[in-house]
Structure 1
């Protein structure tokens, strides 16, 4: 496969828009070997689920890393992730959920935004993701670029790169539809959430159920 693809390119249901799947494994492997940290804070002991009808992002950068923190029992935990950064992203009909065990049973925290015709808008956003199913289309995609290359329009997240020659990919635009994602962390310079609705609900009521 050529290391460079120009124009519109479409793939269906693949891990966090890494193309092909071998590239995803390589990126995460590089992150593990180089000890890259996916965020400048210790992540919680729980991942969370996100769905969206559409994510329209500009200036994608993508590379492997590790989200470090502790599990709910306080034991150190290290989670391989793919880090995706965008200079600007618009997200339509977003749902984010977290199921937490309590002495009273499981409680679901669910957040919804961008569901009334006005998308959520983020600038300088980075997603530390473990799983993703989606349909995706890229414009001007480059695979195999060094993560520290000066030509990246969106720079790597501060503190996450220990080897500037590690694997990454980039695209001028990435459009994801029918998004289903598990993530450990999200950071953004700004994140505008129109018509935000936050609810606490009894039991397991995530944004989507895992496939059996």
Structure 2
């Protein structure tokens, strides 16, 4: 009888946790199918992503609008990277579990060896960088004319994409002490050494 009750609790726990985990699964799984930022409806859950060092080959920034399953529109800054090397990765997602209260789902990795990603798109509402170094940068390029960095094909075909809108691109970029509030991350591949996932009681955002 106790075993049956335990299985029921775990099933309920999984159902509660699944939406939050899905919102950040792009960081926890090496994605082979090349999911695209605008090709799925976002949950609308904001999460924190902190990186010690982010090195990008093929860099782009442009403005888009993501849409939640409820139809809400969320303006985002999309940072694109053809290839990214990431050291000191931390992601934290606040979750509120019925009867248990506030918890934090946290992902860390890339400490002893850098994580790598290809065709990565980071949809963010806020970003801050301690130091940014660019090579061969263009600021004010039309979004539809960006070539040095990637544009998500799903975004390019979206009614929210403005080919004449403001964009930025560079052959390469090195960013340190990166702090991002994001609503979605997608990548063609995402390989994270020393991946660690855990749930902690209370609020424990990435430092």
Considering only CA atoms, is the larger Rg found in Structure 1 or Structure 2? 2
Does structure 2 retain, via aligned residues, the 8 Å contact 1:39–1:185?
A: no
1:46-125 equivalences in 2 (<5 Å): 46-70=45-69, 75-103=70-98, 104-116=100-112, 118-125=113-120
Distance apart, 1:196 and its partner CA: 0.3
Q: Which has the higher strand share?
A: 1
Distance apart, 1:179 and its partner CA: 1.1
Q: Distance in 2 between matches of 1:166 and 1:79?
A: 17
Does structure 2 retain, via aligned residues, the 8 Å contact 1:109–1:201?
A: yes
Does structure 2 retain, via aligned residues, the 8 Å contact 1:60–1:85?
A: yes
Does structure 2 retain, via aligned residues, the 8 Å contact 1:38–1:65?
A: no
Structure 2: give runs of 5+ residues left out of the alignment: 1-35
1:148 matched residue in structure 2: 144
1:202 matched residue in structure 2: 201
Q: Which has the higher helix share?
A: 2
RMSD, matched Cα: 1.6
Distance apart, 1:38 and its partner CA: 5.5
Secondary structure of the structure 2 residue equivalent to 1:100? strand
Does structure 1 retain, via aligned residues, the 8 Å contact 2:119–2:150?
A: no
Distance apart, 1:173 and its partner CA: 1.0
- Once the two structures are superposed, residues 98-147 of structure 1 have per-residue CA deviations (whole angstroms, 9 ceiling, x without a partner) of 0101111011110001011x100001101101111112111111011122
Structure 1: give runs of 5+ residues left out of the alignment: 1-36
| TM-score, with structure 1 as normaliser | 0.74
Q: Distance in 1 between matches of 2:59 and 2:177?
A: 18
Secondary structure of the structure 2 residue equivalent to 1:76? coil
Secondary structure of the structure 2 residue equivalent to 1:160? helix
2:40 matched residue in structure 1: 41
Does structure 2 retain, via aligned residues, the 8 Å contact 1:124–1:188?
A: yes
Deviation above 4 Å: which 4+ runs of structure 1? none
| TM-score, with structure 2 as normaliser | 0.76
Q: Distance in 2 between matches of 1:173 and 1:196?
A: 26
1:151-166 equivalences in 2 (<5 Å): 152-161=147-156, 162-166=161-165
Distance apart, 1:164 and its partner CA: 2.1
